[in-house]
């Protein structure tokens, strides 16, 4: 418990530092977001509009850097992340709020699915190394060595372009309205199949291979031999003595992978024009949309920290040795 | 995983697992036998891959309640032998030849022929093993109680949770671990405690044979002594037999009823501890005895044994020990000596210097076939005076 408390304090401090860096880095860059906004409006802006824009973005020069910094924190704590340029005049929090769920559901579920299936298959393959199941390994390695956006492009070309089985882009059909209706869910699933399949196929080998190798290592342990000598059933030995120990290093990696759900999806969402947070980040970068970038980095920072915390917690839960070191 | 070691398919042995023991044969055993046979290893040969023979034509009978020490250097095949009896050998090790009979009442079970389910039932309830390193042998993510509990449950589904917990407490009391440690994880215990816990787990189902694979090697001398005393007390209390594998001749002399010295996969000398100490015959045994000091007794030079144990894949021709033996004869370089048992005793030696016949010829190989089996079991009461009760 003391350990968890200590970790919590550590993560809060890390978050504060990360968010401060998040504030300073864009301001160390030359130029000013208003200039780029003005460029987009190409001179059709009056000085009064400019002043109000400056006020809106919190860029009044008389405030100074520290003044801006504290204003930033005040705004942050109120959940006010500023106004996006790209989606002007929508608030950044609103843009993120609209895109994040798509990413969390699609990439999050795929990461979980990939981990569960990969680990389960890896466990079985590792139980009998050298059996015919080992032939799975080159196949999965092949798919994981292909860049997944390329795999995505091929999948799009074949299943959407040639066969017209699945939609090319988006997260749902624009003709259905968002809500818990069958037509919407069916449409969302239809649009998610290709990106989900691409993601699972390209990441599953990572978990499979790791679990298999850990399983093989674990099976060489004396406690497996002892479990066998005890006359326990094979299922019991495989689950409680083998997999239970072999999975430990993977738990931490899994939590880390969850942390990268938000950022890891950029290429995927760009390829499939999926309106998730990665796609929005891509838009923000191409449009020099600093408030939006800052907002997304904030989300990324928090998610990564949360995932790390989750990893710590799982480890303590699953490994009694970690509990005592704590 | 279970049962991975293949028993050679072309083995000429009968496949039936249960064998009726010829009553006549049982009656032929001399009345002076202190121990009724429990396990009889017959001509066991274990090979690693092809050609590397770790255990070669090994015969040994372990009596009920008897402690048999198996002594040898690293690579002498002693641990392989222990694992073979439990059928725990893993690839590339496999049993090429031999039988292991486990006596229950008037019938015997051939351990190498039993099917997986029967093997699983026999394991732990009849034969249990204690490994050298308790740290590695205990599952780090399960409490000690869970590791006792699962073996109880696996062998008797009718046991209630309460009775299993009581059994766990009983076992911990037996080996002298505070009961609150049942809830502990292996890493929370000291080395000695862990080894005791391992012994407690081994005793969970009251096995008749306890195989000890260097169970105290990793411990300090004081803890070692305590655990050995504990084992002797438990043996007296519960009456199990022990096959105690170790490289420590001094240690095994203290506790064993009978000692078999192994070299390069073969028994080279056998006898009671007193006999071996007073009158070692095989040059290898003599070398071992000269390798450690005695606490009491006259000062003498420790000589050790020159050279290294042979590679089992390239055993020298003849007696495997001859390159390291300062008394090697010509015959030693050519032919493996037979294991010759002294009439009416449990002493035996495999050495041309002590064989009944040192001539090359057909009788020698015939003798090897005939005089090895089971004679080792003939243990007379040479160590009765040592004041240890020995079970039933």
Give the tens place of pLDDT for each residue, B295-316: 666 677 777 788 888 888 888 8
Give the fold, CATH level 3, of B267-386.
Rossmann fold (3.40.50)
Kindly state the tokens that stand for B267.
């028994």
In the predicted model, what is the mean pLDDT of residues B163-183?
A: 93
The per-residue pLDDT for range A185-207, each reduced to its tens digit, is 888 888 888 888 888 988 898 89
pLDDT band of residue B95 (cuts 50, 70, 90) is very high
Give which of B1, B92, B115, B151 to mutate to test A binding, by max A Cβ within 10 Å.
B1
The mean pLDDT value of chain B amounts to 81
Instruction: Determine whether the interchain pair A324/B139 forms a contact, defined as Cβ–Cβ distance below 8 Å.
Output: no
pLDDT of residue A57: 63
Mutating which of B82, B114, B140, B186 best tests the A interface, going by the most A Cβ atoms within 10 A? B140
Please give the pLDDT value at position B11: 41
Measured CA to CA, the distance from residue B43 to residue B38 in angstroms comes to 16
Q: Which helix (H) or strand (E) holds A89?
A: none
Dihedral sign, Cα of residue B79, residue B81, residue B86, residue B89: positive
Q: How confident is the model at residue B383 (pLDDT cuts 50, 70, 90)?
A: very low
Taking the C-alpha atoms of residue A108 and residue A112, their distance in angstroms, rounded to an integer, is: 6
Domains of chain A in sequence order: 2-77 (no CATH), 92-325 (1.10.3720.10)
Quickly state the pLDDT bin for A62 (edges 50, 70, 90).
low
Residue where the block lists tokens 């005040």: A74
Partners of residue B123 in chain A, C-beta under 8 Å: 228-231
ipTM exceeds 0.90, yes or no = no
C-alpha distances in Å from residue B385, one per residue of B199, B243, B255, B282, B388: 28, 21, 13, 25, 8
Residue B175 has pLDDT above 80, yes or no: yes
- Who has greater pLDDT, B130 or A149? B130
pLDDT band for A325, please (50, 70, 90 cuts).
low
Chain B residues within an 8 Å CB radius of A224: 1
* B289 touching chain A per CB within 8 A: no
pLDDT category at B28 given cuts 50, 70, 90 is very low
B181 touching A (Cβ < 8 Å): no
Nearest CA to CA, how far is A134 from chain B (Å)?
Answer: 16
* B33-68 pLDDT per residue, tens: 567 899 999 999 999 988 899 999 999 999 999 999
Q: Does B140 touch chain A (CB under 8 A)?
A: yes
Distance CA B346, CA A194 (A): 77
pLDDT band at residue A140 using 50, 70 and 90 as cut-offs: confident
Res. A49 pLDDT band, cuts 50 70 90: confident
- Calculate how close chain B gets to A236, using CA atoms only, in Å: 9
Q: What is the pLDDT of residue B234?
A: 92
pLDDT surpassing 70 at residue A8: yes
Sketch the domain layout of chain B as residue ranges: 267-386
Average predicted confidence (pLDDT) for chain A:
83
B160-174, B245-259, B330-344 — which is least confidently predicted? Answer: B330-344
Query: Cα separation of B246 and B202, whole Å?
Result: 18
Q: Which residues of chain B lie closer than 8 angstroms to A231, CB-CB?
A: 119-125, 151, 154-155
Contact A230 B154 (CB under 8 A): yes
> How far is the alpha carbon of A77 from chain B, nearest alpha carbon, in Å?
42
pLDDT of residue B26: 43
Chain B interface mutation, best of A130, A214, A228, highest count of B Cβ atoms under 10 Å: A228
Distance CA(B253)–CA(B69), nearest Å, equals 8
Q: At how many degrees (to 10) do helices A136-145 and A182-219 cross?
A: 120
Buried b (16+ CB within 10 A) or exposed e, A249-279: bbbbebbebbbebbbbbbebbbbbebbbbbb
């Amino acid at each position: 418990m003391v350990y968890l408390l200590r970790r919590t304090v550590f993560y809060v401090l890390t978050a504060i530092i990360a968010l401060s860096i998040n504030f300073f880095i864009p301001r160390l860059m030359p130029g000013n977001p208003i200039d780029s906004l003005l460029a987009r409006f190409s001179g059709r802006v009056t000085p009064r509009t400019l002043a109000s824009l400056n006020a809106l973005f919190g860029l009044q020069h008389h405030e100074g850097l520290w003044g801006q910094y504290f204003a930033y924190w005040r705004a942050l704590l109120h959940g006010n992340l500023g106004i996006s340029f790209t989606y002007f005049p929508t608030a950044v929090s609103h843009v993120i709020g609209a895109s994040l769920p798509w990413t969390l559901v699609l990439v999050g579920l795929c990461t979980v699915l990939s981990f569960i299936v990969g680990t389960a298959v890896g466990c079985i393959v590792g139980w009998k190394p050298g059996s015919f199941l080992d032939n799975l390994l080159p196949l999965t390695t092949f798919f994981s060595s292909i860049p997944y956006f390329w795999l995505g492009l091929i999948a799009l070309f074949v299943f959407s372009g040639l066969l017209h089985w699945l939609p090319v882009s988006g997260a749902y059909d624009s003709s259905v309205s968002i809500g818990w209706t069958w037509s919407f869910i069916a449409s969302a699933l239809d649009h998610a199949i290709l990106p989900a399949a691409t993601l699972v196929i390209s990441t599953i080998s990572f978990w499979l291979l790791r679990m298999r190798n850990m399983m093989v290592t674990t099976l060489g342990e004396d406690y497996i031999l002892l479990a066998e000598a005890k006359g326990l059933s094979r299922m019991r030995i495989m689950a409680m003595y083998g997999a239970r120990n072999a999975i430990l290093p993977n738990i931490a990696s899994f939590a880390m992978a969850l942390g990268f759900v938000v950022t890891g999806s950029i290429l995927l969402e760009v390829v499939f024009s999926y309106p998730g947070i990665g796609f929005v980040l891509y838009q923000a970068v191409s449009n020099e949309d600093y408030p939006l970038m800052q907002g997304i980095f904030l989300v990324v920072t928090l998610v990564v920290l949360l995932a790390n915390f989750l990893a710590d917690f799982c480890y303590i839960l699953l490994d009694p040795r970690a509990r005592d070191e704590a | 995983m279970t049962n991975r070691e293949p028993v050679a398919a072309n083995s000429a042995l009968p496949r039936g697992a249960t064998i009726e023991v010829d009553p006549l044969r049982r009656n032929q055993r001399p009345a002076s036998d202190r121990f009724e046979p429990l396990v009889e290893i017959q001509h066991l040969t274990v090979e690693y891959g092809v050609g590397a023979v770790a255990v070669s034509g090994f015969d040994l009978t372990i009596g009920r309640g008897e402690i048999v020490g198996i002594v040898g250097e690293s690579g002498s095949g002693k641990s392989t032998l222990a694992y073979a009896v439990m059928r725990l050998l893993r690839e590339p090790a496999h049993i090429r030849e031999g039988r292991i009979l486990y006596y229950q009442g008037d019938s015997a079970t051939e351990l190498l022929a039993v099917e997986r389910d029967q093997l699983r039932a026999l394991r732990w309830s009849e034969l249990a093993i204690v490994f050298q390193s308790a740290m590695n042998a205990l599952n780090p993510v399960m409490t000690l109680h869970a590791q006792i509990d699962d073996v109880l449950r696996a062998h008797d589904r009718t046991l209630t949770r309460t009775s299993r917990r009581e059994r766990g407490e009983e076992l911990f009391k037996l080996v002298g671990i505070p009961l609150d440690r049942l809830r502990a994880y292996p890493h929370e215990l000291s080395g000695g405690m862990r080894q005791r816990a391992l012994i407690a787990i081994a005793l969970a189902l009251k096995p008749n044979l306890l195989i000890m694979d260097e169970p105290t090697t990793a411990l300090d001398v004081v803890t070692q002594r305590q655990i050995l005393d504990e084992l002797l007390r438990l043996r007296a209390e519960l009456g199990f037999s022990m096959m105690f594998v170790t490289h420590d001749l001094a240690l095994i002399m203290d506790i064993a009823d009978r000692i078999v010295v192994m070299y390069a996969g073969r028994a080279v000398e056998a006898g009671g501890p007193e006999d071996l100490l007073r009158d070692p015959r095989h040059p290898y045994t003599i070398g071992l005895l000269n390798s450690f000091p005695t606490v009491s007794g006259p000062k003498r030079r420790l000589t050790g044994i020159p050279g290294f144990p042979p590679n089992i894949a390239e055993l020298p021709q003849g007696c495997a020990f001859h390159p390291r033996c300062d008394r090697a004869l010509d015959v030693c370089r050519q032919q493996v000596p037979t294991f010759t048992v002294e009439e009416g005793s449990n002493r035996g030696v495999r050495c041309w210097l002590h064989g009944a016949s040192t001539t090359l010829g057909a009788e020698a190989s015939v003798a090897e076939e005939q005089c090895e089996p089971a004679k080792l079991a003939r243990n007379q009461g040479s160590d009765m005076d040592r004041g240890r009760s020995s079970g039933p």
